[in-house]
Amino acid sequence: MSYTLDLEEKIAVLPFFLKHYPAKNRSFLLEAQKIIQQQIQAKIWLQQKKPVLKQEKLVPIFSLQPEIAALNNLVNENIPALKNYLLHAEDYFLTLGVLPCLKQLGWPAISQAAYLTTNQENPSLLVGSETFLSMWNAWNTQQQTKNARNKLTVLLKCLDFPPELTQESSVIQHLLSHFSSELAPDNPFWHSLALEVQIAFPAPLTLTDSLGKQIHQLRYLISLQQTEFIRRQKFGFSDHTKLAYFLRNRNFSLSDSDRLHQKKAHAGLGAYPSGYDGGNFKLLIAFHSEFIINRAGKFQNILDLDNLNGVVNGASFNYANKNDKIHTRLDVKFGKSDPQFRRKILKKNQYKAPTKTSGNFSYTNKTGAYAINGRSSKENSQLLKEHFKKFMRWYDDYQKISNQ
């Protein structure tokens, strides 16, 4: 098997080799670095020179042949050192037999080099693993939309994410299997992912093209992955007790509105979906990670198989950093990018959230269509949040007593 490094890859990989390769083998790398720098200078010169010559028509373009010949001579004169570099570099790349696969997935050379320098004995490529995060963080898209879109495309490939998300259990479990079990809801990776989405879809774009559709639907898988992470916590038996255990000594917010997670059938005149169980409330971690919990203390997810309330009112990861215009553009106005199975359910039963304005369908009306036990939908949510806060305080006291 051969693995050919192009000029850009040589440039990207050299700093990693120079830093991590054994000192006794660094001499040929330093020599190769000089050669490559000369190649780069010549390449830049040619790129700058061609347009000028064409525009001014001073000399025919073939007059560049002497410069090209000189560049070739420069390389030929140093071929022994260059071959030595390439030989060692390619051997190093093929040590684990993974690099060609990474290149095929779309990982740039800088990320491939990060893979090679990982300290893990058995590097994992699962999304969120230490090795994956090293590769992800090494890839600087430099605020360029095209670069960010490429990076998101690689992420989707790593997850084997389909063009259209379904509720099939085997498909969902297959997708979840591509996440590291160590990827927590407050991992910095989630903020990094959100920033890449913001770069890939600058204003006024929304998540409506083919890539945007997948990125929008990805949020539902992320929310399910995050609730599954919480459910693996060692303390507690219910979702809300396990969440409380995870949130100890962590920052979270209950202040954001959950109006859009209180949908009822028949445009508000029908019933709440089964599984609503008296209300939903929203909890956020760093704004991005969202948990919707019903009155019974159970997580509500759009990919829940047997929970209509989850499908209708469940959690979705936020790509914005706060509740602003970016949030509206990237997290609210997704239109036809929603999975077909959810769109059909919402349309068939005309599920609709309460309105911000006053009237019978208002979020703040105590006697309107969305009222619950004499409380408005908003007041009911606030009550559930207060109950959760009290539970958290009780849990903190319990932990202090238990540790004495």
Q: Please tell me which of 22-26, 37-41, 382-386 the model is most confident about, judged by mean pLDDT.
A: 382-386
- Mean pLDDT of all residues in 275-290: 97
Neighbours of 216 (CB within 10 A): 26
Beta pairing class for 280-285 and 289-294 = antiparallel
Q: Tell me which of 36-45, 213-222, 290-299, 339-348 is least confident.
A: 36-45
At 160-177, the pLDDT tens digits run 999 999 989 989 998 998
Cα 31 from Cα 81, distance rounded (Å): 7
pLDDT for 288: 98
What percent of the chain has a predicted confidence (pLDDT) above 70?
72
Q: In which band, very low, low, confident or very high, does the pLDDT at 314 lie, cut at 50, 70 and 90?
A: very high
Going by pLDDT thresholds of 50, 70 and 90, the confidence category of residue 68 is very low
Task: State the residue for tokens 């992420």.
Answer: 155
Residues 131-148 have pLDDT tens digits of 999 999 999 999 999 999
Name the more confident of 79 and 212.
212
Cβ pair 90, 96 in contact under 8 A = no
